[in-house]
Amino acid sequence: MTAPSPVLEALRAATAEGHRALESTPTMAALGAPDCDEAALARALQVLAAGFGEHEPALAGEAWYRPQAPAIRRDLERLGLAPSAPAAVAEDGSAASLVGIAYVLVGSRLGARVTAQRLAQRFGEDFVRGLQYFGAEASFSAPQWRAFQERAGLLEGEEARALACAAAVRTFRRFEQLARGGAGEGDEA
C-alpha cells in the first residue's frame, strides 16, 4: 500500500475536527444508534440530500465523479418524503476547491458503507439493499475513492493544498449546519 499523498494528509488533518463535529450531531449520530428508526434515517437522508445537492453542481464537469444526490432523493421518495430543492454553493471553481469538495463527498461514500452495516443490523439486509445511497450505490465507493485520489494527486504546491483544505473545511461546516437544522450565514432559514 502506498503512503497517502501530501494533499490527502493535509485534507485529513484540516478536516478532522469538522468530520468529528458532523458525526457527533444528533442527526448523524442517530444513524449508528441501536434505536435508529425510519424517521431518524429520513432526517439524515434529508441532510445528505441538501448537502450533496448544494455541492455536487461544482463537480458537474468532473467526468470521474458519480453524483449521489439522485440516489439520496430516490431514498427519500421511498420513505415517502420529497427532498427540498437546494441552492448550489458558490465556489471559485478552481481545481483545488473541487478537490476539497470532492474529498468530503467521496469520503462520505466510504462512511456510508460502514453505516450501511449498522443499518442492516437495525432494519435488515433487504431494507438496506433497497436503499440507493446506503445500498446499491455503496459498491461504487472504492472506485470513486481511487479516482478521487488520482485527481487529488494532480494538485501541486502549498497554495493548492491550502485552497483544497479550505474548501473541504467549508463543505464539512455546511453539512454540519444542515445536520443541526440551521441555515448558514447569508442563507435563508
Ordered structural domains, the chain, with CATH:
6-83+93-179 (1.20.910.10)
Mean pLDDT of 144-158: 92
∠ CA 128-133-137, nearest 5°, is 95
Label residue 185 by pLDDT band (50, 70, 90). very low
pLDDT in tens, 132-146: 998 877 667 788 899
Alpha helix positions (H), 60-157: 69-78, 95-123, 125-130, 141-152
Report the distance separating Cα 39 and Cα 43, nearest Å.
6
pLDDT the model gives residue 92: 80
What crossing angle do the helices spanning 38-55 and 69-78 adopt, rounded to 10°?
150
Q: How many CA atoms lie within 13 A of 79 on its CB side?
A: 23
Length of the chain: 189
Which grid cell sits at 161?
A: 493544498
Report the distance separating Cα 9 and Cα 99, nearest Å.
13
Long-range CB pairs of 84-88 (<8 Å, 24+ gap) are 84/46, 84/49, 84/50, 85/53, 86/49, 86/50, 86/51, 86/53, 86/54, 87/54, 87/187, 88/54, 88/57, 88/58
pLDDT in tens, 33-62: 999 999 999 999 999 999 999 999 999 989
Mean pLDDT of 86-91: 75
pLDDT the model gives residue 137: 72
